[in-house]
Structure 1
Amino acid sequence: MVFIGYREGHRVTEAPRLEVRSITRAFGGRPVVNDVSFTVEPGQVTCLLGPSGCGKSTTLRIIAGVDRPDTGVILMDGKPIAGPDVMVPPESRGTGLMFQDFALFPHLSVADNVAFGLKGTRTEKRLRVRDLLGRVGLARYLDSFPHELSGGEQQRVALARALAPNPRIMLMDEPFSGLDNRLRDGIRDETLELLKEEGTAVVLVTHEPEEAMRMGDEILLMRQGRIVQAGAPYNIYNAPMDREAAAFFSDINVIRGRVEGALTRTAFGQFLAPGHPDGADVEIVIRPQHLSIDFDRDGHGPAPTEEHGTWARARVVRARFVGNESIVEFELDDGTPLKASVPGVFLPKTDRVLWVALRRDRCFVFPAPRKAAE
């Protein structure tokens, strides 16, 4: 069989580094992982993203070999490592593991922590340890102990230890969530650079969309044990499959309407609703940063434009400054709440009348959820 995969933006005709085929796992009869399939190539970072309980960590445990799938197959470089007739033990899979808990040995020095599990002569081990600690900026801490290091430094030691045996796949479960926010971005970037240099295939579990977009070549959005959408960060952010997917990545505004003649009438004018039948209830979804605000002109707003369509009258409910932007909450004349984000400082007073428009090319039209039967 020939597999078509990903590597440095080119197609390759060889087995992927990791292939997960239709794995399932249930506990007490409840499906936790349900028909999950994906591939990862050397040097690729794939992020399993989703809320707590969606099955992403269980999927990682199955790949690591600490849990077994009920059905499905996992292959590494084309060879099965888990399936109905095979279960390669974790230590023989060639995978590295990183978790939120760095799990460093407190009684061992930094050098001995990194060398733990390495094979070869003492000289070979020492050279590998020195090289990795130098690449993570910790060469001077060879003989230090974990308790003498900061959280960020301990995370780098954990990364060096995980990379020391040259794993073909690195499995990472929320490895940065225990770090201070000020350190997190820098540590993420350093980790990503080192993983790319090593050519390691990476599966990263996270519940943070920002982290997934910052680190991932591909994002697999999970919900209730399934992958509901997969794609590059730009594509999955800008073309969400449904309202829930859009809302997972950022705050959203929702404007409700009903389809009549393939059009939906709103306070912002008519919107095309292709694929939605007449009489269907729909939701127009837009992110706060894609709203435009203008001033009232004696009871009138700006003239309609192709980009923004019709402007709607809105009353300021609340405005607050949050660092590098201002968040302004509005209420339309029909009672619809809206939230806009504005770069810099913009703090209009409560009850002030302004006019709001939507970037039409940034709107998504989704079917409205059905109301539960009374």
Structure 2
Amino acid sequence: MMQQGAIESETVRSEADEAPRLEVRHLCRRFDGRTVVDDVSLSVMPGQVTCLLGPSGCGKSTTLRMIAGVEQQDSGEIWADGQMLCDGRRTVPPEQRRIGLMFQDFALFPHLSVAENVAFGLRGAGGAAGGRVDELLCKVGLPGKRDAFPHELSGGEQQRVALARALAPSPRIMLMDEPFSGLDNRLRDGIRDETLALLKAENTGVLLVTHEPEEAMRMADEVALMRAGRIVQKGAPYNIYNAPIDKDALAFFSDINLIEAKVHGALAQTPFGEFLCPGHADGERVEIVIRPQHVALDFDRDGRGPEPTMQHGCAARGIVKRARFLGTESLVEFAMEGFDAEFKVLVGGVFLPPPGQPLWLTIPRNRCHIFSAAA
């Protein structure tokens, strides 16, 4: 019987681990008749990092505040580990939701020591609080800073204290609103990686808000791209980057080059040759988009460029406007001959052709994205 009970207990625990830590269903919020969060749904599994990515004002932080319980939704439901937190009528108070919060400014109490800051969320834990504080300070690499005060710490150390304080009550969900934006670039990558490792070790579900695509790509297991209050695309970072839903989604992650054309017989004629446009009607205007790092360059040979190929189509001639070295790559900007467009090209290493030099540009077909211009 004991063995059967142990198996049943393990089965229950396994099923609980497979359930979402956080589930948001059709969340909406309006201010003064204006919808700022519009039918947002997402889920976060244990140990998973989901990133809400989008420009300022798109509703990311409002979504986070509703999940935390400091903002009331107009409609929709919020669940944690299968428990209803709020459905617009009934609500669990913020302090009972077991949700950790980390913000950009760290929000440490200046009059409390590091240990007292970390212990703040453990009120009522009695003698166990001291052990939990010491455990977390070791995990974040600050065992010798127990009695220090926030003003005596570097920015990176303050961020680690804020993380330890947020983890102290063992939250099942961690909400992070641009928590690394106050750190300089030298510290940011290391602190982010350490933070993620610790959160995953605690099996915490993480919902991170950022407007920086690079941060989302580096940290997230899943990205939810927001625009004007709505999630327009969700998926793994690789899929979001390589299979964007539209031109704006593509442009949010990097610079783009744009070629406009009209479809005839499923083909679009451009200075770079023909492009297949399946699914686009005759007469429809399309936009062919390619990132600067995917454009190939070739030298001018007395006014001639490379021969056309199936993979790259035709070459188009461009005149260098300016070239700049960016550290690990060079950005070359072109005025294109024969059509009114400017092209940007990223080249690895140092490549600084002088203004006025002609070069030939080709664009591999498997790196292009074709969208309806009307969309």
1:364 maps to amino acid: H
Give structure 2 stretches of 5+ with no counterpart: 1-13
**Separation in 2, partners of 1:67, 1:84:** 11
Q: Does the 8 Å contact 2:121/2:166 carry over to 1?
A: no
> Which of residues 363, 368, 373 in structure 1 aligns to 2:368?
363
**Separation in 1, partners of 2:190, 2:105:** 19
User: 1:193, CA displacement in angstroms?
Assistant: 0.7
User: 1:14, CA displacement in angstroms?
Assistant: 5.0
> Which of residues 200, 204, 207 in structure 2 aligns to 1:200?
204
Q: TM-score, normalised by structure 2?
A: 0.94
**Separation in 2, partners of 1:359, 1:108:** 59
**Separation in 1, partners of 2:100, 2:23:** 16
User: 1:132, CA displacement in angstroms?
Assistant: 1.0
User: 1:187, CA displacement in angstroms?
Assistant: 0.8
**Separation in 2, partners of 1:313, 1:243:** 25
1:140 maps to amino acid: G
**Separation in 1, partners of 2:136, 2:188:** 20
Aligned to 1:167: 171
Map 1:229-268 to 2 at 5 A: 229-268=233-272
User: 1:169, CA displacement in angstroms?
Assistant: 0.2
User: Judging changes above 3 Å, is the alpha-carbon distance between structure 1 residues 322 and 81 closer, same or farther for their aligned structure 2 residues?
Assistant: same
**Separation in 1, partners of 2:182, 2:374:** 36
1:260-295 per-position Cα deviation (integer Å, ceiling 9, x unaligned)? 110101111000111111111111000000000010
User: 1:332, CA displacement in angstroms?
Assistant: 1.3
1:130-157 per-position Cα deviation (integer Å, ceiling 9, x unaligned)? 1111111111111111000011110010
User: 1:119, CA displacement in angstroms?
Assistant: 4.4
**Separation in 2, partners of 1:71, 1:122:** 39
**Separation in 1, partners of 2:15, 2:346:** 40
User: 1:298, CA displacement in angstroms?
Assistant: 1.5
Aligned to 1:178: 182
User: Judging changes above 3 Å, is the alpha-carbon distance between structure 1 residues 258 and 151 closer, same or farther for their aligned structure 2 residues?
Assistant: same
1:88-115 per-position Cα deviation (integer Å, ceiling 9, x unaligned)? 1100000000000111011111011001
User: 1:15, CA displacement in angstroms?
Assistant: 3.3
> Which of residues 336, 343, 363 in structure 2 aligns to 1:338?
343
Aligned to 2:318: 314
Matched, 1:215 2:208: no
Aligned to 1:87: 91
> Which of residues 325, 329, 333 in structure 1 aligns to 2:329?
325
1:25-70 per-position Cα deviation (integer Å, ceiling 9, x unaligned)? 0000000000011111110100000001101100000000001110
Aligned to 1:274: 278
> Which of residues 130, 149, 153 in structure 1 aligns to 2:157?
153
Matched, 1:26 2:30: yes
User: Judging changes above 3 Å, is the alpha-carbon distance between structure 1 residues 19 and 287 closer, same or farther for their aligned structure 2 residues?
Assistant: same
Aligned to 1:103: 107
User: 1:171, CA displacement in angstroms?
Assistant: 0.3
User: 1:125, CA displacement in angstroms?
Assistant: 1.3
Q: Does the 8 Å contact 2:233/2:240 carry over to 1?
A: yes
User: 1:305, CA displacement in angstroms?
Assistant: 2.4
**Separation in 2, partners of 1:176, 1:290:** 30
User: Judging changes above 3 Å, is the alpha-carbon distance between structure 1 residues 12 and 65 closer, same or farther for their aligned structure 2 residues?
Assistant: closer
Matched, 1:134 2:138: yes
2:287 is paired with a residue whose SS is: strand
**Separation in 2, partners of 1:147, 1:97:** 21
Aligned to 1:67: 71
1:154 is paired with a residue whose SS is: helix
Aligned to 2:228: 224
User: 1:12, CA displacement in angstroms?
Assistant: 8.6
Identity %: 66
Aligned to 1:5: none
1:189-217 per-position Cα deviation (integer Å, ceiling 9, x unaligned)? 11111111111000000000001111100
1:322 maps to amino acid: L
**Separation in 2, partners of 1:253, 1:133:** 48
1:321 maps to amino acid: F
1:327-367 per-position Cα deviation (integer Å, ceiling 9, x unaligned)? 00011112311000011100001110110111211100011
Give structure 1 stretches of 5+ with no counterpart: 1-9
1:216-275 per-position Cα deviation (integer Å, ceiling 9, x unaligned)? 000000001100000000000000011100000000000111101101011110001111
**Separation in 1, partners of 2:134, 2:348:** 45
**Separation in 2, partners of 1:121, 1:203:** 27
1:306 is paired with a residue whose SS is: coil
User: Judging changes above 3 Å, is the alpha-carbon distance between structure 1 residues 11 and 282 closer, same or farther for their aligned structure 2 residues?
Assistant: farther
**Separation in 1, partners of 2:16, 2:354:** 58
Spell out structure 1 runs of 4+ moving beyond 6 A: 10-13
Which structure is higher in helix share? Answer: 2
**Separation in 1, partners of 2:124, 2:32:** 44
**Separation in 2, partners of 1:307, 1:109:** 63
Aligned to 2:8: none
2:134 maps to amino acid: R
Aligned to 2:6: none
